[in-house]
Amino acid sequence: MKRSVTLAALAAHCLFNAAHAAAPEPAAFTADVAQRMRAALPGQQVEILQPLRLRVGSLRVGLDTPWRTCTTAEASCDEELQALVGAVKEALAREGKLPDKAALEQGVRLAVRPAEYATQVGRMLGAQGVKLVTAPLAADLVVIAVLDTPQATRPVTSDDLARTGLDAAAVLALARANTDREVPPLAGKAAPVEAGQIQQLTLGYYTASRLAFAPQWEALAQAQHGALLVMAPAPDLLLYSAGDTPAGIDALRTYGANLARRAPKPLSDQVLRWTPAGWQAVR
């Protein structure tokens, strides 16, 4: 994901060869740039995906903006295209530092995100032929596989799968296992509450990811006489209560929605009810 955005930004100011008196058609422009890439990067495969779309090695390079700009700034095209080639070289050098299969297996985690977020990001990535690794959770929430490194956390994409040979099901299973080991268990952290009480639960960065392990909440539900309501106002915060009444649900929803509005990264204002079959949205 980051690579595609970076290359698009770098390409945004790149112009076509000044030798052309007029802007070429997209297909001709793409072929000319592809030839330039092949000459500059003899060790990399350069493929024309479609007009204004190249694949250079494992990178996707969009040429829409360079092609449009070329019609008004031909004098600097050659210099700017050299800069584009340099940027691609640099990105390919960084590519060698991307996680291999072992690094992905060790670093993948399961993150809870709003379904709307996954839809929006998925739409943007889909335009580049890239997909997220995701699965439904409950109500307005989904889980996505993310790569957690000391530098940053980013979504795992289909590019990572292609590079490592792992499929989506395997990555999600690894993410579940790694997250289950990393996030403290509920036992000893989530004490039963009485009806009318609302308890906050913080288990670290992936606190909300405990929702992906619904069977682990059964002991708490039983200790609360079968009544367990949960909210995830932020990725690092969960709320739970035993007040499964209209008044109790409204109190939890109001409190959780207020926390979500104040959170740096709001997650959800949906109340969930635990059932033996999994989480159920409370309307």
Question: Between 124 and 267, where is the model more confident?
Answer: 267
Distances from the Cα of 187 to the Cαs of 171, 201, 202, in angstroms? 27, 12, 13
Could you give the CA distance from residue 17 to residue 33 in angstroms, rounded to a whole number?
9
Q: What's the full length of the chain, in residues?
A: 283
- Predicted confidence (pLDDT) at residue 74 exceeds the cutoff of 90: no
Alpha carbons 134 and 142: distance in angstroms, whole number: 7
Measuring CA to CA, which residue among 69, 63, 70, 68 is closest to residue 48? Answer: 63
Per residue, the 3-state secondary structure of 179-240, as one string, reads: HHHHCCCCCCCCCCCCCCCEEEECCCCCHHHHHHCHHHHHHHHHHCCCCCEEEEEECCEEEE
| Residue pointed to by tokens 């159920």 | 280
- Three-state DSSP at 175 gives helix
pLDDT at 76: 66
pLDDT computed for residue 13 by the predictor: 37
- In single-letter form, the type of residue at position 18 comes to A
Q: Report the mean per-residue pLDDT for the chain.
A: 84
**For position 18, what pLDDT does the model report?**
37
Asked if pLDDT for residue 10 goes beyond 50, the answer is: no
Reported pTM? 0.66
pLDDT at 73: 65
Residue 236 CB: number of other CB atoms within 10 A? 18
- SS3 of residue 146 by DSSP: strand
Confidence of residue 278 (pLDDT cuts 50, 70, 90): very high
In this predicted structure, the answer to whether residue 41 has a pLDDT above a threshold of 90 is no
Summarised one tens digit per residue, pLDDT across range 160-212 is 999 899 999 999 999 999 999 999 999 989 999 999 899 999 999 999 999 99
Q: How far apart are CA 137 and CA 211, in angstroms?
A: 8
Residue 88 pLDDT more than 80?
no
Q: Average pLDDT in the 43-65 region?
A: 81
Provide the pLDDT confidence category of residue 151 given band limits of 50, 70 and 90: low
CA–CA dist 105, 147 (Å, integer): 9
Amino acid at 115: A
- Residues 92 and 41 sit within 8 Å (Cβ to Cβ): yes
* Residue whose C-alpha is closest to residue 139's, from 123, 116, 171, 168: 116
Question: Which SS3 state, helix, strand or coil, does residue 71 take?
Answer: coil
| pLDDT at residue 136 is higher than 50 | yes
Average pLDDT on 204-233 reads 96
Q: What is the pLDDT of residue 123?
A: 82
165 membership: H or E segment, kind and range: none
For residue 73, CA distances in Å to 14, 31, 86, 232, 261 come to: 10, 20, 20, 51, 46
Report, as an integer, the average pLDDT of 65-80: 67
